[in-house]
């Protein structure tokens, strides 16, 4: 199980520092709806992470087992493919954002602060269906499939991955609900920093996780 944890930790970090859910969190927490919408948003985000990873884990379980060595080769090839797709995704992000102002935010963020509890819950869940999140979840599932874990061990690793991935949303939500006056200035400055550095962080994270995933795949060949 420790080997599986070692494989999923960098992926959990990549999921946790994803700028889109963090920005949505900040917008909600700076709005008038923070007390009624932030917790549903957090619940949707956490459930989404867990359900998507579980779904890909179940899908990975159908990988044929002609032999232990053959199974590892199949998993390794799949990991290499996902890693290369992550690398390609990083290049696409770089090309699409090159030359655009760094402070541009997605237009849909302007409406997030006005969402009610159920809409916020849905937003948190749906954000796990973005291409980046799906690729990361698939990478986690393949790592679990290749680690020969029991059902209980798999559940523990998924729970740890979900908890780590959710920290950057959970901590601001809990902190703001406990002490909104102390966190407001931090939220404003963090929003500005993410807006200025979002593309650079995203590209570097995608490149890093792509390399890690390809490396994990190569070790199985």
Domain regions of the chain by residue span: 2-219
Element (H, E) at 11: helix 2-16
Beta carbons within 10 angstroms of residue 57's beta carbon: 22
| Rounded CA separation 208/216 (Å) | 12
Task: Write the pLDDT tens digit of every residue in 200-216.
Answer: 888 888 888 888 888 87
Query: Which two three-digit tokens encode residue 138?
Result: 């698939």
pLDDT at 204: 87
Angle at 61 between CA 147 and CA 137, to 5 degrees: 75
Whether residue 113 contacts residue 105, with contact meaning beta carbons closer than 8 Å, is answered with no
Q: What is the pTM of this model?
A: 0.85
Q: Which residue has the tokens 């932030």?
A: 38
Q: Is the dihedral of CA 200, 206, 209, 212 positive or negative?
A: negative
48 closest CA partner among 130, 155, 151: 130
Query: Which two three-digit tokens encode residue 154?
Result: 């798999």
Task: Write the pLDDT tens digit of every residue in 39-81.
Answer: 999 999 999 999 999 999 998 887 665 555 566 777 788 888 8
pLDDT at 132: 87
pLDDT at 99: 65
| Rounded CA separation 201/68 (Å) | 38
pLDDT averaged over the chain?
87
Whether residue 219 contacts residue 211, with contact meaning beta carbons closer than 8 Å, is answered with no
Q: Which residue has the tokens 């884990």?
A: 57
Cα distances (angstroms) measured from residue 125 to each of 89, 115, 129, 130, 204: 22, 14, 8, 10, 25
pLDDT at 104: 60
Which percentage of the chain shows pLDDT scores above 90? 41
């Amino acid at each position: 199980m420790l080997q599986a944890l070692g494989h999923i930790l960098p992926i959990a970090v990549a999921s946790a520092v994803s700028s889109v859910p963090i920005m949505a969190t900040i917008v909600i927490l700076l709005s008038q709806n923070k007390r009624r919408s932030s917790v549903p948003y957090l619940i949707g985000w956490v459930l989404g992470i867990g359900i998507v990873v579980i779904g890909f884990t179940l899908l990975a379980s159908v990988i044929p087992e002609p032999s232990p060595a053959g199974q590892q080769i199949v998993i390794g090839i799949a990991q290499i493919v996902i890693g290369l797709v992550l690398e390609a995704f990083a290049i696409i992000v770089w090309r699409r954002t090159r030359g655009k102002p760094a402070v541009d935010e997605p237009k849909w963020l302007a409406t997030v602060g006005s969402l009610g509890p159920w809409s916020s819950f849905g937003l948190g869940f749906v954000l796990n269906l973005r291409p980046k999140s799906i690729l990361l979840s698939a990478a986690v599932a393949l790592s679990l499939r290749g680690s020969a874990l029991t059902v209980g061990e798999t559940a523990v690793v998924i729970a740890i991955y979900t908890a780590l991935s959710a920290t950057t949303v959970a901590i601001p939500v809990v902190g703001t609900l406990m002490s909104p006056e102390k966190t407001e200035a931090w939220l404003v400055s963090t929003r500005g920093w993410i807006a200025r550095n979002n593309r650079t962080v995203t590209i570097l994270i995608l490149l890093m996780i792509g390399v890690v995933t390809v490396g994990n795949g190569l070790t199985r060949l």
